[in-house]
């Protein structure tokens, strides 16, 4: 039988950390954000470091006397090698100035051991042979990802340093054409002027009643971000197939009536435009997943894998209410809350804005009559609205007044003297955690399912 391998560790580095603390207890401030007691493989070194942490937390000085007293109080003095071992640590540590190097080595070995443990846990997932292969893969990925997440905490950063970093980032943005996109532009000038583009780590809810054009708007944003700004976009489509989405993108880019894609009956001139659009879109970094019964855990796993291969700048989900939960639940509001929190977590984890499309309740249709503006969406119109409104950084509504009138004549009777708003739409900023709320008017070409800029946008008052 082959001899089992030792777990990664470096006893000298563990002793170097504790010896440094016994020489000068103040240096614990340099490593307390790096090391935890559980990072030490040696039990006695773990006990000693824990004692130092306890003493520091009480605001007391760390030295051989206080450490031995703390170990004795915890009943761990003999387990830690007694007073003799503490003296030996002091004698064998040449200087406390290398404490950070010792700490980093202990940390590296600790991470290596955690990876080994995670690998064993993943092996157990494999042996369990869960018939739900997607759930098994997601569980395995989560096990390994937790190793990174649990050690991802940040220490305090002085405001002066943050401001310096922002200045450097701005200078880099001006000097380089290949910089990371700090904000994702929508390509709709009025909206971009109002919100400054989508901010990384933000959860954006894009909502509207059926046929208002929320999917079209999301696709237009994806198209603009990819083609005009070089963004990498991931689209999770739970309602439409990838072929349908591709045809919508082509229709918008080529400005061909979307109905012609049903039987592909194009004129010669339209066919030229269609092929040109296909060529342009072929160069866009847009990735589409059209899994219809998608669970939030699967979405997270797929987004992580794509991000590892092709760093993603924007994620779009169409749409929120079609996501599947991990188990049966009788409370849909709580389930939607789990989804929105998970989406916000994905946004922060991958450092990308996540746009989640959402349905509005029928309350917006029942409210008021056609002679007034009471059908303009409100936050309370969001389905299962509590968690959606709470977790979202930005809530956008798509509203097309023309959709509430069957004919132009009906509009004229209700609004004498006013132009029929057939190709007008309003994007309502109903919540903006980082700025003002308001409304932006845009152009909408229904036959192309395409949103665009007006000659002069109604920018509101941001």
Write out the DSSP string of 3-57: PPPPPS--HHHHHHHHHHHHH-GGGHHHHTTT--GGG-SSHHHHHHHHHHHHHHH
Greater model confidence, 161 or 92: 92
Ranking 76-85, 95-104, 228-237, 294-303 by mean pLDDT, the lowest is: 294-303
For residues 86 and 93, give the distance between their C-alpha atoms in angstroms, rounded to a whole number.
Answer: 11
As a whole number, mean pLDDT of residues 113-132 equals: 84
- Using 50, 70 and 90 to split pLDDT, how confident is the model at 185? confident
As a whole number, mean pLDDT of residues 204-211 equals: 83
Ranking 93-102, 201-210, 263-272, 370-379 by mean pLDDT, the lowest is: 370-379
Ranking 60-64, 127-131, 242-246, 327-331 by mean pLDDT, the lowest is: 327-331
- Using 50, 70 and 90 to split pLDDT, how confident is the model at 49? very high
- Using 50, 70 and 90 to split pLDDT, how confident is the model at 279? confident
pLDDT at residue 331 greater than cutoff 80? no
pLDDT at residue 402 greater than cutoff 90? no
pLDDT of residue 120: 86
pLDDT of residue 65: 92
Ranking 5-19, 195-209, 363-377 by mean pLDDT, the lowest is: 363-377
User: At CB < 8 A and 24+ separation, what contacts does 154-160 make?
Assistant: 155/33
Domain range summary for the chain, segments of one domain joined by +: 1-156, 181-452
pLDDT of residue 2: 46
pLDDT of residue 252: 81
pLDDT of residue 276: 87
User: What's the topology of domain 1-156?
Assistant: DNAb Helicase; Chain A (1.10.860)
Please report, rounded to a whole number, the percentage of residues in the chain having pLDDT higher than 90.
15
As a whole number, mean pLDDT of residues 226-243 equals: 87
Mean pLDDT of the chain: 80
Is this model's pTM higher than 0.75 or not? no
Q: Which residues of 2-32 are buried (b: 16+ CB within 10 A; e: fewer)?
A: eeeeeeebeeebbbbbbbbbbbebebbeebb
Question: Domain 181-452 - what CATH class?
Answer: alpha beta
Query: Which segments of 359-454 does DSSP mark as H helices, in order?
Result: 363-366, 385-391, 408-414
As a whole number, mean pLDDT of residues 377-406 equals: 77
For residues 302 and 33, give the distance between their C-alpha atoms in angstroms, rounded to a whole number.
Answer: 31
DSSP 326: S
Q: Is 219 exposed, middle or buried (0-12, 13-18, 19+ CB in 10 A)?
A: buried
pLDDT of residue 458: 45
Q: Which residues contact 457 (CB under 8 A, 6 or more apart)?
A: 189, 190, 193, 440, 441, 442
- In this structure, are strands 203-208 and 438-445 parallel, antiparallel, or unpaired? unpaired
pLDDT of residue 462: 43
The candidate with the shortest Cα–Cα distance to 21, out of 37, 8, 7, is 37
pLDDT of residue 1: 39
pLDDT at residue 457 greater than cutoff 50? no
pLDDT of residue 6: 84
């Amino acid at each position: 039988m082959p001899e089992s391998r030792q777990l990664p560790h470096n006893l000298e580095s563990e002793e170097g950390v504790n010896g440094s603390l016994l020489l000068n207890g103040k240096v614990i401030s340099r490593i307390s954000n790096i090391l935890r007691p559980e990072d030490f493989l040696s039990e006695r070194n773990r006990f000693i470091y824990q004692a130092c942490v306890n003493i520091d937390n009480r605001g007391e000085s760390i030295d051989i006397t206080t450490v031995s007293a703390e170990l004795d109080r915890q009943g761990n003095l003999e387990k830690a090698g007694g007073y003799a071992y503490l003296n030996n640590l002091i004698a064998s540590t040449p200087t406390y100035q290398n404490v950070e190097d010792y700490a980093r080595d202990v940390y590296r070995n600790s991470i290596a051991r955690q990876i080994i443990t995670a690998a064993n846990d993943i092996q157990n997932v494999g042996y369990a042979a869960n018939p739900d292969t997607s759930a098994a893969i997601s569980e395995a990925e989560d096990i390994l990802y937790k190793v990174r997440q649990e050690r991802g905490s940040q220490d305090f950063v002085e405001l002066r340093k943050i401001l310096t970093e922002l200045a450097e980032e701005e200078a880099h943005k001006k000097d380089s054409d290949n910089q990371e996109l700090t904000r994702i532009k929508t390509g709709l000038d009025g909206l971009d002027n109002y919100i400054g583009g989508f901010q990384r780590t933000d959860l954006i809810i894009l909502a509207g009643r059926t046929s208002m054009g929320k999917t079209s708007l999301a696709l237009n944003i994806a198209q603009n971000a990819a083609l005009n700004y070089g963004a990498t976009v991931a689209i999770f489509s739970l309602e439409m197939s990838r072929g349908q989405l591709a045809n919508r993108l082509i229709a918008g880019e080529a400005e061909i009536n979307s109905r012609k894609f049903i039987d592909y009956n194009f004129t010669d001139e339209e066919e030229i435009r269609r092929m040109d659009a296909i060529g342009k879109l072929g160069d866009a970094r847009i990735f589409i997943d059209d899994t219809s019964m998608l669970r939030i855990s699967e979405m997270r796993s797929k987004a992580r894998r794509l991000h590892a291969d092709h760093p993603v700048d924007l994620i779009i989900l169409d749409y929120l209410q079609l996501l599947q939960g991990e188990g049966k639940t009788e409370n849909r509001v709580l389930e939607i809350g789990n989804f929105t929190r998970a989406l916000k977590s994905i946004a922060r984890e991958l450092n990308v804005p996540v746009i989640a499309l959402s349905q509005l309740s029928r309350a917006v249709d029942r409210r008021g009559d056609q002679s007034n503006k009471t059908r303009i969406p409100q936050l309370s119109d969001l389905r299962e609205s509590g968690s959606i409104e709470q977790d979202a950084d930005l809530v956008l509504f798509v509203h097309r007044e023309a959709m509430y009138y069957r004919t132009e004549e009906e509009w004229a009777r209700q609004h004498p003297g006013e132009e029929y708003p057939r190709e007008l739409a309003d994007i309502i900023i109903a919540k903006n955690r980082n700025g003002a709320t308001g409304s932006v008017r845009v152009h909408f070409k229904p036959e192309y399912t395409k949103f665009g800029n007006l000659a002069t946008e109604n920018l509101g008052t941001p």
